Structure 1
């Protein structure tokens, strides 16, 4: 299946779903896309520097830039977003997108209860640093295969570029179609998972985790409170590997979308939702 045929079938899929925004693809490359959104270059960071007391956190935070924030800009401008080891923007994002390993211990405290006796009270997303450490160790992204991790709309993939994962941004009505069609494609009633993680963890780290284990899983994400400001109201992410996505496209002719099913009533709700949010054409 060529990239052009994937794009053609994606347009059909979007029509069935009633989704107006094309999905993004994520891939790694040694070439930074032109006019892409991403962090500025920051001071060197590493666990080694951190443990030696040589990491200037205040200086490193001066170039803070969220992966989800840059993807949000890329969505608005129909462009690309990127992160690299030098242009990392976020300590967590650098780890989750395979740009730094092992992760900073700072993350274990920042995501949980902070540092006692300091103004950093932590995000309180997990109960203690140990639970965050276990999460980080489990997800453990591979070493990046190229300099840049790039997120961009499928239609911007050039000849020879292949996305590893496909990311949909959608509200519940459209998500119901994505969820059910994934089940229809795989025959697995547990093919959609939603483990804890940041916005970018759900779009790259967890999909990689399952893919490397040979498990065909879609990852439902976007629950991270810190990422919500970079997403539409009521919107979540739905990420699948390219191999699973191709199967989903191939399964469309026999799916609920092309037969008389309850999807027709849901499809009307998709249109009502788009009208309510001022997104109908």
Structure 2
């Protein structure tokens, strides 16, 4: 399928959902889009440098840029966001977006209970460093197929650079439509998952995990407290692999959206929600 049927189907899908913002796609490329939002080049990082005690984390953090923050800017400006091995911004994001392996040990402490006797008290998202290490090794993103990991609006893709995944940003009523239609398309009651992870882990890291295992799964994310400042109130992410998304578009004519179902009542709530947030269709 070329991109045009996907874009046409997306327009129809968004009308059914009552969602005013088009989804983003993500892909890998050796070229960075012009005027893209992303991190500045940071000091070199690697597990090898960390193990030798040659990594100054204070220096590393000076160039901190959250993947979700870059995507947030791209959403507002209708542009692209990126991350690369050298322009990494976040030691977690560069791993989850498959731009660097292995992960730095520092993050095992930073996301859990920190380092005793230091200012790094930890985010307390995991109970201990061992649990966080197990999580990092479980996600275990593949090696990136390009120099840059790029996020941009779906309409900016061409036939020569199709997205691997499609990412929606939506509130619960719209999410109920995305969730239910995914189940309708697949017939699989477990086709939508929401494992623990950072904002970018669920937006890309976990979707990559399932794709590498030939599992067509949609992933709900956005529960990471650190990423909430880069998302609208009550908003979450919903990522689907392109292969599944194409199937979802193909089943729209037979879906709840085009028949007499309870979706009509939900759709009215979507409209009320848009008005309440000043985002009228």
User: TM-score, normalization: structure 2?
Assistant: 0.99
Matches of 1:123 and 1:273, distance apart in 2: 32
Gaps of 5+ in 2: none
Deviation of the 1:212 alpha carbon: 1.0
Q: How many residues align?
A: 281
Counterpart for residue 247 of structure 1? 247
Gaps of 5+ in 1: none
Deviation of the 1:159 alpha carbon: 3.7
Matches of 1:65 and 1:182, distance apart in 2: 33
User: TM-score, normalization: structure 1?
Assistant: 0.99
Deviation of the 1:216 alpha carbon: 1.2
**Cα-to-partner distance string for 1:168-208 (whole Å, 9 max, x where unaligned):** 00000000000000000000011110000000000111001
Matches within 5 A, 1:55-134: 55-134=55-134
**Cα-to-partner distance string for 1:92-136 (whole Å, 9 max, x where unaligned):** 001001111000000000000000111110000010000000000
Which runs of structure 1 show a deviation greater than 6 angstroms over 4 or more consecutive aligned residues? none
Counterpart for residue 145 of structure 2? 145
Counterpart for residue 178 of structure 1? 178
**Cα-to-partner distance string for 1:18-74 (whole Å, 9 max, x where unaligned):** 000000000000000011000000110001000101111111111110000000000
Matches of 1:93 and 1:276, distance apart in 2: 33
Matches of 1:171 and 1:237, distance apart in 2: 9
* Cα RMSD, aligned residues only: 0.6
Matches within 5 A, 1:158-197: 158-197=158-197
Counterpart for residue 218 of structure 2? 218
**Cα-to-partner distance string for 1:215-261 (whole Å, 9 max, x where unaligned):** 11100000000000000000000000000000000000100000000
Matches of 2:214 and 2:88, distance apart in 1: 29
Matches of 2:54 and 2:20, distance apart in 1: 48
Counterpart for residue 24 of structure 2? 24
Matches of 1:4 and 1:243, distance apart in 2: 15
Matches of 2:216 and 2:184, distance apart in 1: 13
